[in-house]
Chain A
């Protein structure tokens, strides 16, 4: 019964902590859908994958969301045609590289400002590298859920086989590849989804009250979808946390290498939000200081 109480307490604490940030992320995602022109967004993104990943990692300063809220925003970025490196960079860096987390870490580690800068700097570095690595995948759609993959524009990369096929096809009018009634020949690169992505967002031409209503509808839709998933994720995290006590994980790490692995495992299991984890982390710093100061008298007494 006590275990069940612990699971429920942890479950509700994770949910209460994460839900406002999920709501914030869904609001940003809906605003991106209804108020941002995809063509302008894509035009503003750097073409170099490494630089795109770096820019994506810095977006967190504009959209300060934690790891629960950045998933809908990253999903929206991908659907709107932003490069994968940028979306992955944002997904990994936004929970750390944002003003709220910077302030929270600064408050927790006021006496050690180097920790604040190392946290933000290394997060930026790791997110940029991972985003860059993911950009080597030319067509990212096989790695996405089918519903998301279908709504993504087709990448412009062409295989040798397709190029050869296109060269062999005659220049005469091809069915479905030309806009009729216009002077000259306008080829739409074959795929209707890509063609749709090149057309301006039709929602942007609607009046603001209609757009706001659509935004509210989208917020409700995304919140229902992701909120349900968050409930399941929080329940799993709470059950695992009670099943595997923190002391067991911490006892695994005793030296320079295993202590890092133990902390990585602990972070994965406790699943706390990036905005508050600095305060959780400082407890371990106090533990280390406590161990250090209690070991000094023992050292002298042993002598």
Chain B
């Protein structure tokens, strides 16, 4: 979902601030989940 190609597509719907919030929230949660999996599951 979070990639350079998609930023341009999202720009046609959202303003920059919304894209920033969307990407930051999604990236932070993904990082947290991946860290938990890395530390406790794998």
Contacts and interface: CB of A to CB of B under 8 A. Distances in A.
A143 B17 contact: yes
B29 A236 contact: no
A229 B33 contact: no
B13 A95 contact: no
B31 A264 contact: yes
Contacts of A213: none
Interface of A: 14, 18, 67-68, 71, 74-75, 78, 88, 91-92, 95-96, 118, 122, 125-126, 129-130, 133-134, 142-145, 148, 225-226, 229-230, 232-234, 236-237, 240, 256-257, 259-261, 263-264, 267-272, 274
B13 A74 contact: yes
Contacts of B13: 71, 74-75, 78, 144-145, 148
A88 B22 contact: yes
A57 B12 CA distance: 21
Given A126-B33, A264-B30, A274-B1, A145 B9 contact: no
B9 to A, nearest CB: 5
B23 to A, nearest CB: 9
Interface in B1-18: 1-15, 17-18
B12 A260 contact: no
Contact of A130 (B3, B15, B29): B29
Contacts of B12: 71, 75, 145, 225-226, 229
Interface residues of B, number: 32
A253 to B, nearest CB: 11
A260 B9 contact: no
B29 A18 contact: no
Given A122-B33, A125-B33, A237-B4, A130 B9 contact: no
A237 B21 CA distance: 21
A71 B17 contact: no
16 contacts: A71-B6, A71-B12, A75-B13, A78-B13, A91-B22, A92-B22, A118-B37, A126-B26, A143-B14, A144-B13, A230-B8, A230-B9, A233-B4, A236-B4, A256-B39, A274-B1
A199 to B, nearest CB: 24
Contacts of B41: 118
Contact of B1 (A75, A95, A256): A95
A129 to B, nearest CB: 6
